[in-house]
Copies of this chain bind each other. A is one copy, B any other.
């Protein structure tokens, strides 16, 4: 443990130094760094694939499913896609460039000229369990915005991650940056997370990307700010005055287009005024898509068929499963969402603009939609170019966390000898 601690803590000062180098570098230099990384990924393709093969071997021995092994695999096509992604990020606008960095500019009566200017956050810790491409995708967004990262990936991908971060480090040096602009916790012991979470002197923000256990560990231990990319218990409420054909289209999309993601719908709320008319129709369409329905007593009655009750209303199924509740009115829908939802994404389907505005105002979620699929709560769909995830927190970044959300700010004051009276 003590060795582990020393080893991980050593990443802190190096990352801080690298962050300082990034913070004073311009857009062109940072983009040069990104392009060097893209080139290096392609050039070192064989090194990556050899390391990845070790992970795949290890995964097979550990009995990973075919699907998991597939997600783990890096091949020439996927490496090319990774490099392409890096080049795309390099071509995005830099929120820190001279044209965009000044957020406010004003002069006080005493002549003190003040500016609020964007700056990088500093060092960002990213803890993830997912595919090795996250290693590149996430760290490159941080580099674009002048932040150093300390990554802690899952044990399944440790060999791939080590190879990738080493390649990034070499590319960084070749582009005139410190090697440690991106660093990787070289061990996958569980104890690594509490150690990282105590390094608030060196890590300015921690982003956990993963399941409940990971997020809970980080929230419990972190001394620095945390931005959780947590679960989405998203609702669609079909109001009494809804276009039912539109409602059906939105529900099928929100539930079935990609059920395994956080902005997919988990609960359908149907207004009692239309429940008898709408539920048989939507149940049929959903079942044709393979969706299993749970429902409350009122839903069963409206459908004319006994539905299994859901265990609770807070579970994120991430699967072709939908919980259905019949609600009395708009207020009951809002109450349900506020009580059981995860404040991620919620939609109302209605033709009534007044009702819609009431819903949009009262539901306290990162994104609230009127007559649109929950699936639109996404950086790409919002036109943000890239996102590091969808924040379920309320401070600093809420919803799609894109380049701007990876920055902080400071105040710069220019005077000619002003003092306070």
Closest to A223 in B: B219
Decide: B364 and A413 in contact? CB cutoff 8 A. no
Name the CB-closest residue of B to A250: B419
Which residues does A use to contact B, with CB under 8 Å? 20, 23-24, 106, 108, 112, 114, 119, 121-122, 200, 204-205, 219-220, 223, 225-227, 243, 246, 249-250, 252-254, 257, 338, 356, 360-362, 364-373, 375-377, 381-383, 393-396, 398-400, 408-420
Q: Do A417 and B372 touch across chains, with their CB atoms under 8 A apart?
A: yes
Residues of B within 8 A of A246 (CB): 416-417
Q: How far is the CA of A371 from the CA of B411 in the complex (A)?
A: 14
Q: Are B122 and A377 in contact (CB under 8 A)?
A: no
Let me know if A410 and B420 touch, CB within 8 A. no
Chain B residue at smallest Cβ distance from A377? B411
In contact, A200 and B225 (Cβ under 8 angstroms) = no
Can you name 6 A-B pairs with beta carbons within 8 Å? A24-B361, A225-B393, A225-B394, A246-B417, A257-B419, A400-B411
Q: A219 contacts which of B114, B200, B252, B370 (Cβ < 8 Å)?
A: B200
**Are B220 and A372 in touch, CB under 8 angstroms?**
no
| Closest residue on chain B to residue A204 by CB atoms | B394
- Contact A121/B411 with A24-B361, A416-B371 known, Cβ cut-off 8 Å: no
Q: What B residues does A223 contact at CB under 8 A?
A: 219-220
| CB pair B249 A419 closer than 8 Å | yes
Shortest Cβ distance from A227 into B: residue: B395
Given contacts A121-B394, A253-B419, A395-B395, could you give 20 more A-B pairs where the C-beta distance is less than 8 Å?
A: A23-B364, A108-B383, A114-B382, A122-B364, A122-B394, A220-B223, A225-B396, A227-B395, A356-B414, A360-B414, A368-B413, A370-B412, A370-B414, A373-B420, A375-B420, A376-B413, A394-B408, A395-B396, A396-B396, A399-B410
